Amino acid sequence: MSDSSGNWFGKLFKRGSQPEPSPLDAAAWNKKGDSLDNAGRSEEAILCFDRALELAPRDVDAWYNKGFCLHGLGRNEEAILCFDKVLELDPRRGGAWYNKGNSLNTLAQPEKALLCLDQALELDPSSIEVWSSKGNILDDLHRPEEAILSLEKALKLDLRRADVWYRKAQIEDDLKNSQDALLSYQEFLVFDRNQPTERINLVRRRFQQLKGKPLEKALPQEDAESDPLNAASWNDKANSLKNLGRFEEAIACYDKTLELYPHNARAWSNKGVCLRDLGRYNEAVLCSDKALELDPDNTAAWNNKGDSLKDLGRLDEAVSCHDRALEIYVAATCLNESDKTVLLRSLHLCYEGLELYPSSVELWSTKGELLNTLGDYEEAIRCCDKALKLDPHCINAWKNKALSLNNLGGYEEAIPCHDEALELDPRNYQVWYNKSISLRNLGIGLANLGRLKEGSRYLDDSIRCLKKSRELDPAMHLPGSTEH
């Protein structure tokens, strides 16, 4: 990297350079804990929340954040105590009711969990997550009709939730409501962007079974041609061709998708990406506009429109589009206003820096890290891939790519990224910890699919990685905290 690029990079905000909080500043300890939790360092975050609570025992946010971390670590009894403390101080904290319900359900107390979720819905009846969780628990309790009603409530609030369509389809399938299940599986395949590959393949196979198609025709390319009325199959084929750089062919498939399903915002957005890659910038802008008409919060469409406008020399309009994408990223996070401002400024600097230094590994890697923090995981992966193409030894890019894949549920794909990072830095305790999370979630997923032996093997590997993390940084896991 050139010196000038290095100077630009030096302007960027680095979380690691934050000063240690004042020993008597509870809010600062809480803020540091929040940052550590966002970085996946939950054990360290809990120590910070404990420090905040020593200084301010009635700090509702610190109790809530500690409970959230404990739940994420599987320490649900402790998490419930924290959420109870939150509700003692603020009975109208809907998130505490919701998370207490999740913890109770994890502890095999579903009836008590439902009571908590009902309290959360009384406070906020527009919570997609609570309706979805309630539907899942009702299904586990063998109350399928009630479960479907709750899941439909969630889908009325957001039709794009593939995970909710999946659960609804499974219940309908179990009830032998084949036509309803077929429609729900179809919707899942339209909105499957963040779903694990194994689940997508499973749904494709079941979808073909319900339609009476042979299972061997499950590959996207074959599905599209053998079933010309299947919009999801054409979309899958288009995505595969786009990823291979065969943009003209991909556009033809997106056109087939949109002929069958004209309200698919992602297909419009992806078609726009292909058109831009072919230098057809005006058409790319029109496709992005169509995507945004259907889904105004589609950050990929805003970014592609901005890039296409930049290529057309319409720089002010391009900047406005990128700014809108950034606003959507930041609005979706739970950060405080100060942190949001810093992240926005940092991302602006990345965009500006990459205009001047498009081969800066550090800028691409940092942009990926920031986008991962903001929850735009797919764009974060794209940035990390850009960094790794320029420098395959960029450990931060491997780390952040793995974290984004984890957040998308791609645990199996994340593991090789952790391994690449560990090959570069075998004593990085944080990567060992993150790898343990990927292995654990993959193991649980396989066990839930009935593949118990395989799942058990991944869970054993997860424990080994967690132990390695503790060996390398015992301070991170030392008791040292005050229990309340």
| Calpha distance 218→224 (Å, rounded) | 10
pLDDT for 287 = 95
Neighbours of 58 (CB within 10 A): 11
Tens of pLDDT along the chain (484 residues)?
Answer: 444 444 444 444 444 444 454 456 788 888 888 888 777 788 888 999 999 898 889 989 999 999 999 988 889 999 999 999 999 999 989 999 999 999 999 899 999 999 999 999 998 888 889 999 999 999 999 999 999 999 999 888 877 788 899 999 999 999 988 888 888 888 887 776 567 777 787 888 888 788 764 433 333 444 444 444 466 667 777 876 776 678 898 899 999 888 888 888 888 988 998 999 899 999 999 999 999 998 888 878 888 898 899 889 888 888 788 778 777 766 655 555 566 666 667 777 887 788 778 888 988 998 888 888 777 777 888 889 989 999 999 999 999 999 988 877 778 889 999 999 999 999 888 899 889 888 988 888 777 667 778 878 888 888 888 888 888 876 554 333 333 3
| Calpha distance 308→275 (Å, rounded) | 9
Q: Give, as one character, the DSSP assignment of residue 277.
A: H
Evaluated on CA atoms 89, 95, 98, 103, the torsion sign reads negative
Which run of H or E residues covers position 419?
helix 411-424
pLDDT for 336 = 56
Beta-carbon contacts of residue 16 (< 8 Å; ≥ 6 apart): none
pLDDT for 74 = 86
pLDDT for 188 = 83
25's torsion region: left (phi>0), alpha (psi -120 to 50) or beta?
Answer: beta
Q: Give, as one character, the DSSP assignment of residue 217.
A: G
pLDDT for 33 = 83
Q: What is the 3-state composition of the chain as percent helix, strand, coil, each rounded to the nearest 5? A: 75, 0, 25
DSSP 170-211: HHHHHTT-HHHHHHHHHHHHHS-TTS-HHHHHHHHHHHHHHH
- pTM higher than 0.85: no
Burial of 465 (0-12, 13-18, 19+ CB in 10 A): buried
